[in-house]
Amino acid sequence: MSVALSAQDISRALTRISHEILEKNHGSSEITVLGIPTRGAHLAARIAAIMSSIEGKEIAHGTLDITLYRDDLRLRAPRAIMPTSIPPIGIQGRDVILIDDVLYSGRTIRAALDALGEVGRPRTVQLAVLVDRGHRQLPIRADYVGKNLPTSEKQSVKVSLTEIDGVDEVVIEGVAN
């Protein structure tokens, strides 16, 4: 087990991502931030808070559960359905920033794109992740990455956040090869 990101690293990464999102979208007026539960939702709330302190106004943010859209539902026990809350302004014609903790196979994001399609038609959908660990199974990439972590498929990446786990940290468990 090794610590890949400390609390300070996470904080810096989220601040940088927030600035990058604002830069790329020329401000925050058209942005809706949606986090994928569980940890993505907390990251989304943090990023929205950082952006609103930079911009000096509220950033529309919410959560998007993708459980019912997964393509691997039949392969495992049914998962608990987590809350979805779309901000009142909606996603129609907006720039939606999807936020998740770890980008791995890309299947969660594919499911998220399907889930978004049921809610409305955003102008753009962009993806921000805290960790990109590689091993994609679908043609999906992130627009904003906190840290690229080269891993082996045998390893697991565990993201802890103070809101749930009491501590901010990313660790890699298991050994490579």
Partner 1 sequence: MRHLLSINDLTPSDAIGILDTATELARINDGQVKKLPTLRGRTIVNLFAEDSTRTRISFEAAAKRLSADVINFSAKGSSLSKGESLKDTAQTLQAMGADAVVIRHSASGAAQRLADLEWMSGSVINAGDGTHEHPSQALLDAFTIRKHLGKGASGLKGLRIAIVGDILHSRVARSNVLLLSMLGADVVLVAPPTLLPVGVESWPATISYDFDSVIPNVDAIMMLRVQQERMSDLFFPNSREYSRYFGLNSERMSAMAKHAIVMHPGPMNRGLEIAADVADSARSVIVEQVTNGVNVRMAILYVLLAGGPLEVGSN
| Distance separating alpha carbons of residues 25 and 147, to the nearest angstrom | 21
Q: Return the number of the residue (3 or 81) whose C-beta is nearest partner 1.
A: 81
- Our CB check for partner 1 shows the closer of 86 and 99 to be 86
Q: Which is nearer to partner 1, 68 or 89 (CB)?
A: 68
- By CB under 8 A, tell whether 88 contacts partner 1: no
Smallest distance, partner 1 to C-beta of residue 159, A: 15
Confirm or reject binding of residue 68 to partner 1 (CB under 8 A).
yes
Binding flag, residue 166, partner 1 (CB under 8 A): no
**If binding means CB under 8 A, how many residues of this protein chain bind partner 1?**
20
Q: Which stretch binds partner 1 (CB under 8 A): 1-9, 21-29, 55-63, 66-74?
A: 66-74
Using the contact rule CB under 8 A, the part of the chain among 22-30, 78-86, 101-109, 151-159 near partner 1 is: 78-86
> HEC profile for the chain?
CEEEECHHHHHHHHHHHHHHHHHHCCCCCCEEEEECCCHHHHHHHHHHHHHHHHHCCCCEEEECCCHHHCCCHHHCCCCCCCCCECCCCCCCCCEEEEEEEEECCCHHHHHHHHHHHHHCCCCEEEEEEEEECCCCCCCCCCCEEEEECCCCCCCEEEEECHHHHCCCEEEEECCCC
Please, what is the minimum distance in Å from the beta carbon of residue 77 to partner 1?
4
Q: Which is nearer to partner 1, 69 or 144 (CB)?
A: 69
